[in-house]
Structure 1
Amino acid sequence: MLIYYIISLIIVGIDQLTKYLTVQNIPLHETLEVIPSVLSFTYHQNTGAAWSILEGQMIFFYIVTLIVVGVIIYYMHTQGKNDKFFAFSLSLILGGAIGNFIDRLFLQYVVDMIRVEFIDFPIFNVADMSLTVGVALMLIYLFFDEWKEYRQKKVGTK
């Protein structure tokens, strides 16, 4: 289990480092083009969740994040030890949740910086990417776990 907590800590470290570098090197709302018309870094302060929903509701975010972290740790110890894929997805979610929680706790907003230029998509950060990939992997795990269970029941009824 320790390896999955280390993965989470690495994600938090990378997330906080990229946010620090953004704040130190890019003025607020300014853009630094990395790959023209594809990728840029734009320093943005988000007081809400994804797509800036629930702006300014910090107490709500504190409570929800603490509950989510508690649930993740619980599942990491009860279910994660049985499946590495599931534990890995939980570690990505945990790292992302803690990365954004640190910002909310100390700054009262989340530092976002990654901007995909070729589509109209909100600016995001490393923690957001980790959360998204973690949730996607968890959905894949749950789908295949249900399918496996269905197949076992189907074989058992013959």
Structure 2
Amino acid sequence: MQNIGIKALSSDTERQAGQGRREDLPPLLAGVAVAVGGVGATLALIDLSSPLRGPFVLFFLLVAPAAASWAALRGLTPWGRIVASASGSVAVNLLVAQAMLALHVWSVRGGVVAVTLFSSLTLLLVLLRRARRRTTARRRTT
């Protein structure tokens, strides 16, 4: 039998390894949030009776507009972005619900679709604005 020697990690290497795991956490959490939100929206749109439908749809309705407004508010500090995104998310949901009730077209599916469209449009406008800034910056440098 042959022994394989394993060299102990130094404290600097251990810190760097731990730092790498911490840096991987936000993208992982974002992916989980997208998956949970997508499942919630899908459960609402196909009208599937499940005990997870309520919490997942609520999560989607709160996180989708918050993520869209988070992307649009790059100039704020992180805590300012959190507060503005959370309050903007609640405002979007209240405005969608109020408009649908005033027009007598209230439905869960319609609310999910309206919030999805609003959030998608906001993200699309943010991406277009960033792309325009990049092309303008490239033209100036060349």
With the length of structure 1 as denominator, give the TM-score of the two structures: 0.32
Work out which of the two has the higher radius of gyration on C-alpha atoms and give 1 or 2: 2
With the length of structure 2 as denominator, give the TM-score of the two structures: 0.35
Greater strand proportion: 1
